[in-house]
Structure 1
Amino acid sequence: MKTTLARGLTNLLPMVLSIWLFWSLFISLDGLGRLMLETLGVDKIMLGAGFALVACLVFVAGLLFSVSPIVWVYSWIERQLMKFPLFKTVYGSIRDIAGLMNRDGKPKTHKTVLVRQANDSYVVGFIMSDFPPEPLREALPEGDWVPVLFQLSYQVAGVTSLVKRADLIEVNWSFEEAMRFNLTAGITSLSDPTQKGEAFTKA
């Protein structure tokens, strides 16, 4: 009985929560669009019309940001707003997260690596950039250093360490699968053990 309930919960909960999350997002965006339509005097708005309006506005914004003058004006406004410390902190964090999710057309530099610990254990990490920022490169001892992110289990946050490239073991494992492994502390199992990434030491 308990095993059957656990099996049902394990299979249904992710699906139900995912559908609820996307439905809540749909309702929120649809409500925003309906508010804009009502402001324009449009009555008898069907469900989904507001969401379609918001989607069209986002698409148009994407087209506008491909025009150089629009990009220049937006960048100028962004620089002015970034002068306010609190806004700079909040906006910068949201922008970085959005940039991490939108990697289309950009080289996928994120690599999964293993980092040896003092007790000969290994920690899964991610190379987020090929080079650390200039101030860090000047402060670090001579060597090929790279920023490595160590994801914390059940949290989006992580710890970034600077590690010598020679001390890293690259893993043939996709960024998404390795991130899921770290976020769930390894509870999420792979469907096929033969598809696990094969580690190899980078020359």
Structure 2
Amino acid sequence: MKKTLARGLMNLLPMVLSIWLFWSLFISLDGLGKLLLELVGVQSVFVGAGFGLVASLVFVAGLLFSVSPIAWVYGWIEKQLMKFPLFKSVYGSIRDIASLMNRDGEPKTQKTVLVKQANGSYVVGFIMSESAPQPLADALPDGDWVPVLFQLSYQMAGVTSLVKRDDLIFVDWSFEDAMRFNLTAGIANSKAQ
């Protein structure tokens, strides 16, 4: 009985939580859109009209940001707001996370690697960039150093370490499968591809 309940929970929980999360996001954005419609005196005709308005506004914003003058003005405003330390920290973090999600068309630089530890064990890591930032490269001893992320289990956090490229063992394993392996401490049934 205990195994059956656990199996049911393990299968249903991810689906139910995912649906709930996306439904909550839909309802929130629909409510925001309805509020915007009410501000201009338009009544919402159907459920989802507010969501459609918000999605349309985001699409139009994407089109506008492809126009140089608007992108320049936005960049100038962004630069002015970045002068405030608290805003810079919060906004910078959110912008970095958003840019990680929007990497379409860019080559994926994350490569899965193994790094040997002092005790002979290995840690799964990810090359996040092909070179260390210049200030770090200048401070490090000679060598080809690369930033490697060691993801912590069950967290969206990790440790970035600078490792010599010669000390890395490259693994033919997709970033997504290896990340799933790290995030679940190897519990997830990931198959190497």
Fold shared by both chains (TM-score > 0.5): yes
Q: Which amino acid aligns with 1:37?
A: L
Q: 2:192 aligns with which of 181, 190, 196?
A: 196
Find the aligned partners of 2:44 and 2:53 in 1 and give their Cα distance: 15
What CA distance in whole angstroms lies between the structure 2 residues aligned with 1:44 and 1:17? 28
One-letter code of the match for 2:153? S
Deviation of the 1:44 alpha carbon: 4.2
Amino acid at match of 1:97: I
Partner of 2:90: 90
For residue 79 of structure 2, what is the amino acid of its counterpart? R
State the Cα distance separating 1:45 from its structure 2 match: 3.5
SS of equivalent to 1:160: strand
Distance 2:78 2:171 in 1: 38
- Mapping of residues 116-131 of structure 1, within 5 Å: 116-131=116-131
- 2:112 aligns to what SS in structure 1? strand
Residue identity opposite 1:121 in structure 2? S
Aligned equivalents of 2:169, 2:101: Cα separation in 1: 25
Equivalent residues in 2 for 1:14-53 (5 A)?
14-53=14-53
CA distance in 1, matches of 2:6, 2:170: 37
**Equivalent position of 1:186 in the other structure:** 186
In structure 1, what is the equivalent of residue 101 of structure 2?
101
Amino acid at match of 1:86: L
Q: Distance in 2 between matches of 1:143 and 1:45?
A: 64
**TM-superposition CA deviations, 1:23-73 (whole Å, max 9, x none):** 000001111101000101012442100000000011111111111111111
CA distance in 1, matches of 2:115, 2:182: 14
Q: Tell me the TM-score normalized by structure 1.
A: 0.93
Is residue 174–residue 192 contact of structure 2 (8 Å, CA) maintained in 1?
A: no
Q: Which amino acid aligns with 1:154?
A: Y
C-alpha contact 1:150 1:160 (8 A) present in aligned 2:
yes
- In structure 1, what residue type is equivalent to 2:185? A
Q: Quote the Cα distance in structure 1 between the aligned partners of 2:185 and 2:62.
A: 37
Aligned to 1:160: 160
Q: Which residue identity is paired with 2:126?
A: F
Query: Displacement of 1:132 after TM fit?
Result: 1.1
Q: Distance in 2 between matches of 1:45 and 1:35?
A: 13
Amino acid at match of 1:157: A
Are 1:34 and 1:45, in contact at CA under 8 Å, matched by a contact in 2? no
The 3-state SS of whatever aligns with 1:126 is: strand
Size of the alignment, in residue pairs?
193
Query: Percent sequence identity over matched residues?
Result: 79
Q: Structure 2 length normalisation: TM-score?
A: 0.97
CA distance 1:75–1:2, change in 2 (3 Å): same
Q: Distance in 2 between matches of 1:44 and 1:129?
A: 47
- Per the alignment, residue 201 of structure 1 pairs with none
Letter in 1 for 2:184: T
Structure 1 stretches of 5 or more lacking a match?
198-203
CA RMSD of aligned residues (A): 1.0
State the match for 1:176 in structure 2.
Answer: 176
1:44–1:82: structure 2 CA closer, same or farther, 3 Å change rule?
Answer: closer
